[in-house]
Structure 1
Amino acid sequence: MSSRSFLFLLAGARPDGNTELLARHAAADLPGGAVQRWIRLGDAPLDTYEDLRHLDPPRERVPAGAERLLLDATLEATDIVIASPLYWYSVSASAKLYLDHWSGWLRVGEPGSFRARMRAKILWGVSVYSGDDPADADPLFGTLRKSADYFPMRFGGLLLGQGNRPGDILQDTPTLTRAKQFFS
């Protein structure tokens, strides 16, 4: 693969939370020459997704503002990393809203363009759970894997760590060790 470009979408409610710390730890060992772009979804809030497929008369999707920023960043990246804490057994609301907008982006520009461009990408997940059972993250894993399967694009996997209080992930030595190799 030619030069890789990673888009890190930070979907936690707290800056520098455990999930962000884990994502940054994993990114520190990216292959040489890999470009990194970090966007905190809370700083680029999306409007509620509106499904325009069956309106009469039909309306065209014209992304603007934060939606345009995220669409362009998504299309420019070779690798998309959704860094979302485990919230109620799945991705955070901002991560889910971002994924919802993929449905609308299927109808932006040339027909089939978004789908075709997504096929060449890799989707990754980074998450931290606070409970005792890593299986609690199974729905989060399924959301990301199924989203990748839809296009189909490659799913790189989920880096899952455990931590509750701020900074706890830094004590999860096995996960930090896995993080060093996660994107290779």
Structure 2
Amino acid sequence: MTSDTTRGTDRSFLFVLGSSRPDGNTETLARTAAQQLPAGVPQRWVDLAQLPLPDFQDGRHETVMSNDDEAVGAGLVTTLNHSAAYTRMRFGGVLFGNGSRPGQVRDDERAALRAKTFFQREAPLARFA
């Protein structure tokens, strides 16, 4: 989606909401971050629960991250980075938040602060580590 020539206002963002729960922790944190984007920066929100996909019900607690140690998510971060590198996209990292129960991420003050600055810098072209 992004190439080496993407700069500043040429950015656009696709937010894919994959939870079967409306207003879940991940969506809450993503919307907090997106509110900080400059006016006019294109945002596309896709809610998979609203698409005509085969039925799926998430029977577990939605987890933004249920461990205070962010190193637990290192494997996921590496996978996302390598996927972006393979497709020659930019990758600005992940926005970690802590919460297991719906709405619990609102209690994570560090996540809320990071969400407000998450999109301020241009993401570098992803590279294989």
- What interval of TM-score do these two structures reach, taking the shorter chain for normalisation? 0.7 to 0.9
Aligned with 2:105: secondary structure?
helix
Separation (CA, whole Å) in 1 of partners of 2:103 and 2:114: 17
TM-score when normalising by structure 1: 0.52
Whether the 8 Å contact between 1:25 and 1:176 is mirrored in structure 2 is: yes
Aligned with 1:161: secondary structure?
coil
Separation (CA, whole Å) in 1 of partners of 2:90 and 2:76: 17
Per-residue CA deviation, residues 17-49 of structure 1 (Å, 9 max, x unaligned), is: 1011000000010022112111012333668xx
Whether the 8 Å contact between 1:4 and 1:33 is mirrored in structure 2 is: no
Distance 1:173 1:39, change over 3 A: same
Aligned with 1:37: secondary structure?
strand
CA RMSD, aligned part only?
Answer: 2.3
Whether the 8 Å contact between 1:170 and 1:176 is mirrored in structure 2 is: yes
Q: Structure 2: where are the runs of 5+ without partners? A: 1-6, 55-59, 121-129
Aligned with 2:20: secondary structure?
coil
Distance 1:13 1:180, change over 3 A: same
Picking from 85, 96, 106, the partner of 1:160 is 96
After alignment, is 169-178 or 135-144 more displaced? 135-144
TM-score when normalising by structure 2: 0.72
Whether the 8 Å contact between 1:8 and 1:39 is mirrored in structure 2 is: yes
Structure 2 residue 124 is matched with structure 1 residue 180: no
Separation (CA, whole Å) in 1 of partners of 2:35 and 2:102: 20
Structure 2 residue 76 is matched with structure 1 residue 137: no
Whether the 8 Å contact between 1:26 and 1:181 is mirrored in structure 2 is: yes
Once the two structures are TM-superposed, the CA of residue 142 in structure 1 deviates from its matched residue by: 1.6
Once the two structures are TM-superposed, the CA of residue 143 in structure 1 deviates from its matched residue by: 1.8
Once the two structures are TM-superposed, the CA of residue 140 in structure 1 deviates from its matched residue by: 1.6
Report the count of equivalent residues: 107
What aligned pairs does 1:89-168 form with structure 2 within 5 A after superposition?
128-168=64-104
Counterpart amino acid of residue 139 in structure 1: G
Higher percent of residues as strand: 1
The answer for the alignment partner of 1:32 in structure 2 is 39
Separation (CA, whole Å) in 2 of partners of 1:41 and 1:179: 22
Aligned with 2:19: secondary structure?
coil
Per-residue CA deviation, residues 88-119 of structure 1 (Å, 9 max, x unaligned), is: xxxx9xxxxxxxxxxxxxxxxxxxxxxxxxxx
The answer for the alignment partner of 1:44 in structure 2 is 51
If you compute each CA radius of gyration, which structure gives the higher value, 1 or 2? 1
Larger RCO, structure (CA 8 Å, separation 6 or more): 2
